[in-house]
Amino acid sequence: MSQTEGARLFRETWIGGVHQHFPGEPKAGYVTSWDDTPQWEREAAGSVYEQVRQFIEISDGHTSRLSREQKGRFVATCWTAQMFKHFDDPKPGYVADWPDLPAWQQETDADIFEAIERSAAAVR
């Protein structure tokens, strides 16, 4: 899967997770379609996809033994690094540490890792 396809997988899984885990009606920006997603966010999604994919690869697929929390934390940390890359002064919510993220976002981040894990397993 190319990095662009991986970025789309990331975004589609994010949207699915928001719809599944977000309490109430999510902000429109949380569920913006790929075509309307800003370029910086597409690039960030592609970078995080690639980091997770490489992590799975160099772990020889043994990331399956990680807990959902560990998987979600990894995605969240990679995303935070991208926010610092793309913004000089990112919003605090963009760079919040794992314990400060809402439960819906933690679950969605874990969903993203697991979606990438499944796509990597399909290639093996």
**pLDDT per position as a tens digit, 1-11:** 888 999 999 99
pLDDT score recorded for residue 121:
86
67 Cβ contact list (under 8 Å, min separation 6): none
pLDDT score recorded for residue 1:
87
Whole-number Å distance between alpha carbons of 96 and 49: 19
Cα distances (angstroms) measured from residue 26 to each of 30, 32, 87, 103, 104: 6, 10, 23, 14, 11
Closest by CA position to 114, among listed 58, 41, 55: 55
Q: What is the pTM of this model?
A: 0.95
pLDDT digits (tens, 9 = 90+) for 60-111: 989 999 999 999 999 999 999 999 999 999 999 899 999 999 999 999 999 9
pLDDT digits (tens, 9 = 90+) for 24-74: 999 999 999 999 999 999 999 999 999 999 999 999 989 999 999 999 999
Burial of 101 (0-12, 13-18, 19+ CB in 10 A): middle
Whole-number Å distance between alpha carbons of 29 and 56: 29
Q: Which two tokens stand for residue 79?
A: 């995303």
